[in-house]
Amino acid sequence: MKKTWKQFGSAALCGVMAAALLAGCGGAASSGATGAASGSSTVSTADTAPAGSGEFAGTKLVYWSNWEATEPQGVVITAAVEEFMQETGAVVDLQFKGRKGIKEGLIPALDADQQVDLFDGMSNKSNYGERIVSLEDVVAAADYEKDTNPVLMELARSYYEDGKLHEIPYQMKANAYLYNKGLFEKAGITKAPDTWQDFLDACQKLKDAGITPLTTDDAYAMQAFGMHLARMIGSDEVKKVVDEGQWDRPEVLATAKAFEELASKGYFSTQVGSNVWPTGQNTEFAIGNVAMYCVGTYVVNETKNITGPDFQWGFFGYPQVEGGINDQKAMVIGMQSFAVTNKCANPTAAFALIEKLTRGKWDAKLAEDTLGIPADVNNTEWPDQLAEAKPFMDNCNEIFATSGGLENNPNITPALKENLMKLYAGSCTADEFVTNMLAAAKG
């Protein structure tokens, strides 16, 4: 009898230990799921919500953001969400997941039936498939579309086979040449270049004034070359070049020759070949050693702590090239966007929050604090740093893919990046560039 009790006691003790272990694992797993493993932070907006009787009282929304809570975007979004809760009575659980958190964690979370009602992040969310819903109805009901640049709405629809709107644009960007107006003035350049010849003239004047005209970083090496090629053959044809290995097209060689000329005339920084992002952006362009950098308008916000308030920002669309098929009205434009998931029980409330963030004062605040481009066309006051980008975006009638489509094949991008950096550094000729790319395309 005594032995039986001892055995029972031992077994019970082991059972409790095992249960405690499993409970520990279970607890960790669930907190990991809601806390978003990869360095996310949750702002306690849900705790401060009023028990109000507004329009969405009793509604709870879980919002995953791809920003960090401490970034300017995160700070503005937090304040806007708090106001939304005060006004509508909704409870919003705002969780800042960062770019990686969204990229790596959102689809597994949705597939595990975790509640996430809306999220933001890079545009083109077509890979989410049925996990995100069409917003056509809520957009039409709110008469929302009229206040967004129509080209961007068209771009947002173009990502989806059904041609419907699944994402709402905000935090737009335009890619082309950002330049230092102070250095341009010092070199006696009074007008930003419109054509390739103007561009070459500007480079020469800068060089004559002892100023390095151009630099780039490895991560952005594809931008200028891609836009140049897209000027010649259009963005769709550029994608064919990279997808089908059409590197022997004469336009590719002509584009490579154009950059070979820039390198041979000494227009690129002497260290361009070794620039690992953000070295060129921060230590050459932002500190005022180099005049031009081909990148997106987001660089203004990224470098504001280096440039300070006195940096005179300028922007011009990629110059028109001889024999090209488009002009500066065709350009690379992109955006961040919001989407609503199929887990959302109240898409109207989720869209109301999106509308709050992309219209009126909060959209203006986002643009002001992030030195970005407003989503609401009625917010006509752009940050001074981006004033020159506004006419280009307003007049845009054709949108190029990122880098003119030159990054469309991830298998070829690394070889392309390496050879472009060599071309810019002058350590490879245009002919060698074409030969190397043909070899890389054959695998």
Partner 1 sequence: MFMKRNRSMILAFVVPSTLLFLATFIYPIIRTIIMSFFSIQEITDSMGKWHFNGIKNYIDLLGNGLYRQSWVNLFKIFFIGGIITLGISLIMAVVLKSGIHGKGFFQAAIYLPNVISAVAMATMWIQYVFNSSYGLFTNLFRALHLDFLANIQWLDAGHKFWALLLSYCFGMIGHFMLIWVSGIERISPDYYEAASIDGASKVEQFLFITFPLLKGILRTNIIMWSISVSGFFIWSKLFSPISADTTTVVPMIYMYDKLFGAENVDKISRDAGSAAAIGVMLCLFIVIIFTLVNRCIKDDDLEF
Near partner 1 by CB under 8 A, which window of 4-12, 30-38, 39-47, 88-96? 4-12
Interaction of residue 111 with partner 1, rule CB under 8 A: yes
State the DSSP string of 130-196.
GGB---HHHHHHTT-GGGS-HHHHHHHHHTSTT-----EEEEEEEEEEEEEHHHHHHTT--S---BH
- If you search the block for the tokens 């949705």, which residue do you land on? 110
Interaction of residue 210 with partner 1, rule CB under 8 A: no
Tokens for 51, please give them: 């028990």
Cα 315–Cα 321–Cα 325 angle in degrees, nearest 5? 110
- SS3 per residue for 398-429: EEECHHHHCCCCCCCHHHHHHHHHHHHHCCCC
Question: Based on CB atoms, which residue is closest to partner 1, 5 or 309?
Answer: 5
- The half-sphere exposure of 90 on its side-chain side, counting CA atoms within 13 A, is 26
Question: Based on CB atoms, which residue is closest to partner 1, 260 or 376?
Answer: 260
Q: Phi, psi (5° rounding) for residue 291?
A: -85, -35
Interaction of residue 290 with partner 1, rule CB under 8 A: no
Q: How far is CA 291 from CA 209, 286, 418, 424, in A?
A: 11, 9, 23, 16
How many residues make contact with partner 1 (CB under 8 A)? 52
Q: How far is CA 13 from CA 4, 7, 23, 121, 257, in A?
A: 14, 10, 15, 49, 78
**Binders of partner 1 among 390-409, rule CB under 8 A?**
401-403, 407-409
- The residues, any chain, with a CB within 8 Å of residue 286's CB and separated by 6 or more, are 303, 306, 307, 311
Interaction of residue 427 with partner 1, rule CB under 8 A: yes
Interaction of residue 164 with partner 1, rule CB under 8 A: no
Tokens for 421, please give them: 């950096």
Interaction of residue 17 with partner 1, rule CB under 8 A: yes
- Provide the minimum distance between the beta carbon of 407 and partner 1 in the complex, in angstroms, as a whole number: 4
Near partner 1 by CB under 8 A, which window of 65-73, 107-115, 206-214, 363-371? 107-115
Helices (H), 285-380: 299-302, 304-307, 347-358, 360-370
Q: Which of 126, 342, 378, 380 binds partner 1 (CB under 8 A)?
A: 126
- Provide the minimum distance between the beta carbon of 302 and partner 1 in the complex, in angstroms, as a whole number: 13
Interaction of residue 209 with partner 1, rule CB under 8 A: no
Interaction of residue 422 with partner 1, rule CB under 8 A: yes
Interaction of residue 21 with partner 1, rule CB under 8 A: yes
- Provide the minimum distance between the beta carbon of 183 and partner 1 in the complex, in angstroms, as a whole number: 18
Interaction of residue 410 with partner 1, rule CB under 8 A: yes
Q: Which of 34, 271, 312, 435 binds partner 1 (CB under 8 A)?
A: 271
- Provide the minimum distance between the beta carbon of 16 and partner 1 in the complex, in angstroms, as a whole number: 11
**Binders of partner 1 among 349-368, rule CB under 8 A?**
none
Near partner 1 by CB under 8 A, which window of 72-80, 85-93, 269-277, 306-314? 269-277
Interaction of residue 429 with partner 1, rule CB under 8 A: no
For residues 374 and 184, give the distance between their C-alpha atoms in angstroms, rounded to a whole number.
27
Residue whose C-alpha is closest to residue 360's, from 170, 152, 153: 170
Near partner 1 by CB under 8 A, which window of 83-91, 316-324, 345-353, 435-443? 435-443
- Provide the minimum distance between the beta carbon of 323 and partner 1 in the complex, in angstroms, as a whole number: 26
- Provide the minimum distance between the beta carbon of 107 and partner 1 in the complex, in angstroms, as a whole number: 6
Q: How far is CA 334 from CA 98, 122, 172, 220, 380, in A?
A: 19, 9, 6, 15, 19
For residues 419 and 303, give the distance between their C-alpha atoms in angstroms, rounded to a whole number.
27
Interaction of residue 443 with partner 1, rule CB under 8 A: yes
Q: Interface with partner 1 by CB under 8 A: which residues?
A: 3, 6-7, 10-11, 14, 17-18, 21, 25, 103-104, 107-108, 111-112, 122, 124, 126-127, 218-219, 239, 271, 273-277, 279, 283, 401-403, 407-415, 417-418, 421-422, 425, 427, 440, 442-443
